[in-house]
Amino acid sequence: MRVCLSIWLMVLGTMLALAAGAGPLLATGLPDTVETEQVRLQLISEATGMAPGQPLTVGIHMTFKEGWHAYWMNPGDSGMPPTFTFTLPPGFQAGEVQWPFPTRLPGAGEVIYGYEGNALFLCTIQVPPSVVPGERHSIRMDVSGLLCSADACLPFEAALQLTLPVTAEPPARDERWQKLFAEGRHRLPGTPAGWVFEATATPDQKYRIAITPPAGQSVPGTVHFFPFTSDAIKPSAPQILEPPAEGRPATLIVERGFADPGPTLKGVLTGAGGWGPEPIAGWGAVEVSIPVVTR
Amino acid sequence: MTRVHWFIGLLALLVVVSAVTARAVDPDKPAEPAPARPTATAQPADPAKPAVAGVENGAKAPTFSLPDVDGKTHSLAEAAGKWVVLEWTNYDCPFVRKHYDSGNMQDLQRTFTEKGVIWWSICSSAPGKQGHLPPETWKERMAAQKVAATAVLLDPTGEVGRLYDAKTTPHLFVINPEGVVVYQGAIDSIRSTDPADVAKAIPHVRQVLEAGLAGQPIPEPTRTTPYGCSVKY
């Protein structure tokens, strides 16, 4: 009985695998949404169509089920970032995927950098001028990665596809996703105009990151540094923000990882209250490339 | 409700009851023996939450003893004079699967245990969490994937895992015959779950053991960021 069932499952599995393998050939029939017990993945477009020669912003929206998380490009102490692969019609070009800044998720004896709740990864696709109004074109994204809870880690992978019409006029916004795109942009690290960051690698295995705001502004109340590379700092060590004192700017003290300090420390600085003023007011994070002096 | 409904309901109930009873008396699944208490040199202050210690290269590896899947106790002290590899594992973690499904882990285990290296796979998954298996299942899965480690040691309290600050599965430590930690970190250089990457990666642990056994200096890097699932403490 059990053997029979196993054989049937194998046959069914083979058929499903064949169907999945045939996907790229057929280039149709792929869903825009895949949902598992751990995550819901949806490919969305900011506009209802595409115009010749114009950029088109799409996003992969991940909604994590309670208790599950995915990882930032530097996953921290464990885990693995997702990978995104676009398959586009001839002449279309995908830009870099823009990653939302992560949150620090402490686990048992370790800290990972990732996402809980939901995350939107944005990407701008350049539509070639050669497309003709009335045509329809498909954007395919293959996404894979790792999802973990406190109890388990599971791989995930999905092939998602969106088909949009070419319009002569600039296409209308897709009202369903405006809020998501607005929130998604809010979670991208900004560019810190006028701020000065300087790091000193000290003999006690720390980085002291001096943060000088532009005139009239102040350093956010809580600041956390997330490096782009995995062994630059110790993810599980607390980071301490020393308020500015006489002759010294606010300083974030971060415990170094075992990688030797390089000339620059690259990553994202998050800060409650943002790195204002306009045009980046409210941005919760800035992308930084901090010169390092070793002492 | 019709008679047919009642009949189906009764049948379903019977199936459930028989499944539960079968589970309770299943001779293939003996009750899990209480795990022997691991003993470690660094005693945590709060036994409910063992301290995270961590080890440094060049320092003496903290001693411990743990039971294997047959209940036999293995102690680091008894391995004195031999090269020792500690491999944190969780057979259901996708990163661990990469190295067992490709045969890479078994190949490393076989290659070096044949040269006298003690290779211990250690599982620190807590009961109920991924990777925690009953001893019989351990034995079945070890046989099925032709594991060639000296032994698989069970650390369900996570005490030894925290003593070494094992962060991921896999996470590897290499200890020389003097009992000194000479390498800790990733098995190789490519953080992925794709078995095809094994052949492309720099095999850190293999290089360390080959150099060590040949009496040569341990090649850099001797410390790398381990990659894998978090240890399911």
Between A108, A153, A231, which is nearest B130 by CB? Answer: A153
CB < 8 Å from A in window 69-128 of B: 92-95, 128
For residue B197, is pLDDT > 60? yes
CB atoms within 10 A of CB A207: 25
Task: State the pLDDT at residue A61.
Answer: 98
State how far the Cα of A238 lies from the Cα of B53, in Å rounded to an integer. Answer: 16
Q: pLDDT at position A6, please?
A: 46
In this prediction, residue A108 carries a pLDDT of: 77
Which CATH number fits the domain that encloses residue A103?
2.60.40.10
Domain boundary among A186, A218, A251: A186
pLDDT at A2 over 60: no
What is the per-residue pLDDT for B47? Answer: 42
What residue ranges do the domains of chain B occupy?
1-30, 33-230
- Within 10 Å of residue A200's Cβ, how many Cβ atoms? 16
Same domain, A34 and A165: yes
pLDDT at A60 over 80: yes
Residues A44 and A83 in one domain: yes
Over B148-193, what HEC string results? Answer: CCCEEEECCCCHHHHHHCCCEECEEEEECCCCEEEEEECCCCCCCC
- Within a domain: A11: no
Specify if A85 maps to a domain.
yes
Identify whether residues A166 and A218 lie together within a single domain: no
Same domain? For A257 and A119 the reply is: no
* Average pLDDT score over chain B: 85
Same domain, A101 and A157: yes
Note whether residue A241 is domain-resident.
yes
Same domain assignment for residues A62 and A151: yes
Average pLDDT over every residue of B163-192: 97
Total beta-carbon pairs less than 8 A apart between chain A and chain B: 64
Specify the pLDDT at position A7: 45
Q: Name the pLDDT band for A216 (thresholds 50, 70, 90).
A: confident
Domain-ending residue, one of A157, A186, A215: A186
- A246: CB partners within 8 A, 6+ apart: none
Which chain B residue is nearest to residue A234, measuring alpha carbons?
B225
Q: Give yes or no: residues A113 and A247 share one domain.
A: no
Mean pLDDT, rounded, for B22-34: 39
Cα–Cα distance for residue pair A287/A271, rounded to 1 Å: 12
The whole-number average pLDDT for the span B147-165 is: 97
Name every chain A residue with its beta carbon within 8 A of the beta carbon of B231: 78, 108-110
Higher pLDDT, A43 or B53: A43
- State yes or no: pLDDT of A50 exceeds 50: yes
B9: pLDDT strictly greater than 80: no
Structure tokens at B35: 């795990």
Range of the domain at A138: 30-186
Q: Does A17 reside within a domain?
A: no
Say if CB A223 and CB A249 are below 8 A apart: no
Q: What is the pLDDT of residue B11?
A: 44
CA distance A199 to A207: 6
pLDDT > 70 in chain A, percent: 88
With residue B35 as reference, give the H or E element that holds it. Answer: none
Gap between the Cα atoms of A232 and A293, Å rounded: 15
Decide: B164 and B66 in contact? Cβ < 8 Å: no
Which pLDDT score is estimated for A281?
Answer: 52
Q: Please indicate, yes or no, whether residues A43 and A179 belong to a single structural domain of this protein.
A: yes
Chain A residues within an 8 Å CB radius of B224 = 231
Please state, in angstroms and as integers, the Cα–Cα distance from residue B47 to each residue in B18, B51, B66, B165, following that order.
Answer: 40, 8, 17, 16
Q: What is the pLDDT of residue A280?
A: 54
Closest-CA distance of chain A to residue B74, Å: 25
Is residue B132 within 8 angstroms of chain A, CB to CB?
A: no
Residue A148 has a pLDDT of 96
A6 inside domain:
no
Q: Kindly state whether residues A158 and A234 are assigned to the same domain.
A: no
Average pLDDT, chain A: 89
Predicted pLDDT of residue A282: 59
Best CA proximity match to A288, nearest among A194, A205, A171, A175: A194
Q: Which of A164, A186, A208 is the last residue of a domain?
A: A186
- pLDDT band, residue B52 (cuts 50/70/90): low
Element of type H or E holding A292? strand A285-294
Sign of the alpha-carbon dihedral angle for A260, A262, A264, A266:
negative
Asked if A109 lies within 8 A of B128 by C-beta distance, the reply is no
In this predicted structure, the answer to whether residue B64 has a pLDDT above a threshold of 70 is yes
Statement to judge: residues A153 and A95 lie in one domain: yes
CB-CB contact of A147 with A69 (8 Å): yes
Q: Is residue A153 part of a domain?
A: yes
Q: Are residues A85 and A122 in the same domain?
A: yes
What pLDDT is recorded for position B6? Answer: 52
Residue A52 lies in a domain: yes
Q: What percent of chain B has pLDDT over 90?
A: 77
* Predicted pLDDT at A28: 63
Instruction: Answer whether A183's CB lies under 8 Å from A158's CB.
Output: no
A189: closest CA of chain B, how far (Å)? 25
Q: What is the pLDDT of residues A171-187, one digit of tens each?
A: 999 999 999 999 999 89
A253-286 tens-digit pLDDT: 999 998 889 999 999 999 977 787 654 555 789 9
Q: DSSP label at A166? A: B
End-to-end Cα distance, chain B: 49
For residue B118, how many other CB atoms are within 10 A of its CB? 19
Tell me how many domains chain A contains: 2
Q: Is residue A280 part of a domain?
A: yes
- Are A167 and A84 in contact by the 8 Å Cβ rule? The answer is no
Q: Which amino acid is at A89?
A: P
Q: Is the domain of A109 the same as that of A179?
A: yes
> Does domain B33-230 match CATH 3.40.30.10?
yes
Q: What confidence tier does B2 reach under pLDDT thresholds 50, 70, 90?
A: very low
